[in-house]
Structure 1
Amino acid sequence: MTAIATHLSTDGDRYFDGMADKFADSLYGKRRGELRLALLDRLLPEMLTLDGQPALDVGGGLGQLSGWLAMRGHAVTLSEPAADMLQRARERLAGTSVTSMSLPLQALPERAPGPWPLITCHAVLEWMADPRAALATLASLLAPRGQLSLMVFNRDALRFSNVVKGNLDRVLADRLAGQGRRTRLTPISPLSHDEILAWAEENGLVVQHCAGVRIFHDYLQHPAGDDEAYRKLLELEWRYSRTEPHWRLGRYLLYTLVPAEETRP
């Protein structure tokens, strides 16, 4: 059995060495993971221009997104710092066009500088000690007409969820972030929409599209257990994923960021 990392990296980031089984079983093996992937399958073709361009999948984890892109004709480079996660991804993606590297995000400018016409970075920044600097790094890798698909864990949704669960003292003290210890999966740097807007502007990027992922599921008192209930929930999630005000309370916020000059007439 692989040992589970119980501490942060020297940079203060949270990696997931020894947690491939937990991600595969507790996340993607359950409805919440199934729902996340199903929504991305619908949202990404609407939010991105996908024409087979080379793609960099940052923090690609178990390889689901890299495989999704490879099936659509993209030559994908996956980077993932956790050894067992990367091994699972390599097994999943054997025989595809995906290449992989054992790299943290900070090493990408040296090892995979691009420039990349398409970068995906999903559920990574919230595990970084300095997500603002991480977004600046991603922006530096982007080609002039490139697209960055960014998905982050929503701090506002985390606050709302804690109130629903009765964790009132935690919310009043604004103690929402996790500590990055052992196997708990509360992000150390949950992010807000306003932060993404501000940091994007700092790096010459603008938000072209945005959506909420899992805007209802995580607040259900009675989870959708049977297939019919799940089908209805998926339809509701899809219907309101890009609608004000609902998308802003998605567990994850999904963005397409592009260079600002590309949006000028």
Structure 2
Amino acid sequence: MSKSDQSFDGIANKFERNIYGSSKGKIRSAVLAAHLRPFLDSPKPLDVIDVGGGTGEMAAFALNAGHRVLLNDISADAIALAKAKHAGSTRIAFAVGDLQALQSAPVDRVFCHAVLEWCAKPFSVIDKCISLLKSDGVLSLSFFNHNAALFSNALYGNFDLIEQGLVTKNRVRLNPNNPQKPEAIINYLQSQGLSIELTAGVRCFHDYMRDRDHWESKYNDILAMELAYSTQDPFKWLGRYFHVIAKR
């Protein structure tokens, strides 16, 4: 991410509370972790770069699996929260700044979760992620799903916003403003020589529930549904986030 991209400086605590303190964030983390688990199963520690890793939520998953993590973000406030969260770990390092300036030897895994939708040039972020991988490295890429954004806005009757291409002048800082089309991302990764190992939706049901009280009261049931159907057609294509795992 670069200086022209969304930073969470000044609102990192609010972001942490609103996202990871909610059923939305908990389900997102749990589903991503379930998809990633087979790709982190290794007899030796792997080197992982978490691009735009924010407050270190997904870095924790890699650390708990025994791996080494370099966490990068443009938000110094987010990195400060991540440092506090992982103060007891000796296997994590931090890099505050523009992703494009990040220097690293090629690594085994690159995470780029919920980053592209905040970026002015998302495909340049993908290019940088690929450049950080070893020849057999794996990229885990999740992003705000354009299909889901269109569908949910249609359900709410926001037809003017759809006509505007889902772009609004009145931006809310915690609302992603550049959703991506899964088909375009998949095609681009393949055009760069990567093989697609997994495609899945994240929150295929949760966000569309009419009774939002169920988000908490029926959380375990919802999570079970999300895990059961996240990789299945047609449900995965309407996940609020889309998850692609690709191998170089």
Residue 53 of structure 1 corresponds to 46
2:218 counterpart SS class: helix
> Which residue of the partner structure matches residue 200 of structure 1?
189
Residues 141 and 178 of structure 1: is their aligned pair in 2 closer, same or farther, counting only changes over 3 Å?
Answer: farther
Which whole-Å CA distance do the structure 2 matches of 1:143 and 1:98 have between them?
19
Whether contact under 8 Å (2:9, 2:78) holds in the other structure is: yes
SS at match of 1:99: strand
Q: Is 1:151 paired with 2:127?
A: no
RMSD: 1.9
What is the distance in 1 between the residues matched to 2:184 and 2:215?
38
- Are positions 1:238 and 2:231 aligned together? no
Contact 2:52 2:71 in 1 (8 A): yes
Provide the TM-score with structure 2 as the length reference: 0.92
Partner of 2:124: 133
* Aligned match of 2:33: 41
Q: CA deviation at 1:132?
A: 1.1
- Tell me which amino acid in the other structure corresponds to 1:133: S
Q: 2:98 aligns with which of 93, 104, 126?
A: 104
Of the three residues 203, 213, 236, the one matched with 1:214 is 203
Structure 1 distance, partners of 2:151, 2:97, is 34
Structure 1 residue 67, shift from structure 2 partner: 1.3
The answer for the alignment partner of 2:240 in structure 1 is: 251
Q: Distance in 1 between matches of 2:24 and 2:15?
A: 12
- Whichever residue aligns with residue 214 of structure 1, its letter is R
Question: What amino acid is aligned across from residue 17 of structure 1 in structure 2?
Answer: D
Moved more, 93-102 or 48-57: 48-57
Q: Which amino acid aligns with 1:107?
A: A
Unaligned runs of at least 5 residues, structure 1: 1-7, 260-265
**Distance across 1 between alignment mates of 2:5 and 2:41:** 31
Match of 2:174 in 1: 185
Whole-angstrom CA distance in 1 between matches of 2:170 and 2:106: 32
Distance in 2 (CA, whole Å) between partners of 1:103 and 1:180 is 27
1:19 aligns with 2:11: yes
Q: Which residue of 1 aligns with 2:87?
A: 94
**Deviating more after overlay: 236-245 vs 203-212:** 203-212
| Structure 2 counterpart SS, 1:117 | strand
- How far the C-alpha of 1:167 sits from its partner, in A, is 0.5
**Aligned equivalents of 1:15 and 1:142: distance in 2?**
25
Give % identity: 36
Aligned length: 245
